Copies of this chain bind each other. A is one copy, B any other.
Amino acid sequence: MVDKEEYRRRIILTASKIFSHYGFRKTTMEEISRALKKGKSSIYYYFGSKEEIFEAVVLYEANQLRMRLTTAIKEVDSPTDKLRNYIYIRMREFAKLSNYYNAVFDKNLDHYDFIENIRSRYDREELAILRLLVYVGNSRGVFAVKDSEYTAMAIQTMLKGMEVPLFWRKRDLDINSRLEAILNLIFNGILGKS
């Protein structure tokens, strides 16, 4: 292994799969090392602790999420499509990431502040994106809102509101229809009288 950083990356990839399935608590160093075909103690040559790996994994997943979202809004042109795409992907990816949240809330709240950091940073970024989307749609004459900032915040609030049942209630299939309703509400509210 010429590059140490490269191997750290491989560990993150592998651990990510296991963490996402079993959560932080139920995932053991033994499993991670076995999946890498290495000795358990060898992992400690690259990472100081299990938490450190988890931290790197969450960071990695956060970046993945960011990438998917930016490409999702780039691949369409109209403001409504951009916003719709963003919300769709966001909710889908968040649902996939729910295991990480369950992992954190598993027992010990040690990582809580660390996760919260990522979370708050993402919140700010998301707000900026939404603000831009609304602003552009506005200046293109598709949307008709007074204040982009507050509208973006309102949308974000709704999105956050959808997360809770996503993570805590059983996954019923009416999520899609609820999402559809939200989208409908947002667009009709923005577009004025349909």
**A residues at B contact (CB < 8 Å):** 22, 26
CA distance A26 to B26 in the complex (A): 7
Could you say which residues of chain B place their CB within 8 Å of the CB of A22?
22, 26
- Whole-angstrom distance between the Cβ of A169 and the nearest chain B Cβ: 13
3 A–B contacts from the bound complex (CB under 8 Å): A22-B22, A22-B26, A26-B26
What distance in Å separates the Cβ of A58 from its nearest Cβ neighbour in chain B? 20
Q: Which residues of chain B are within 8 angstroms of A26 by Cβ–Cβ distance?
A: 22, 26
Nearest CB on B from A32, distance (A): 14
Q: How far is the CA of A22 from the CA of B25 in the complex (A)?
A: 12
A4 to B165, CA, bound (A): 32
The smallest C-beta distance from A161 to any residue of chain B, in angstroms, reads 26
Q: Smallest Cβ distance from A176 to chain B, in angstroms? A: 20
Closest to A99 in B: B21
Q: Which residue of B lies closest to A27 (CB)?
A: B26
Closest 3 A/B residue pairs (Cβ): A26-B26, A22-B26, A22-B22
Closest to A28 in B: B26
A119, B22: Cα distance in complex, Å = 27
CB distance from A30 to the nearest CB of B (A): 10
A22 to B22 alpha-carbon distance, docked (Å):
7
Q: How far is the CA of A77 from the CA of B22 in the complex (A)?
A: 43
Closest to A170 in B: B17
Kindly report which residue of chain B lies nearest to residue A23, judged by CB atoms: B22
- Complex CA distance for A22 and B26, rounded to whole angstroms: 9
A76 to B26, CA, bound (A): 44
Please report the C-alpha to C-alpha distance between residue A32 and residue B80 in the assembled complex, in whole angstroms. Answer: 45
In the assembled complex, the CB of A95 is this many whole angstroms from the nearest CB of chain B, namely 15
Output the least CB separation between A25 and chain B (Å).
Answer: 9
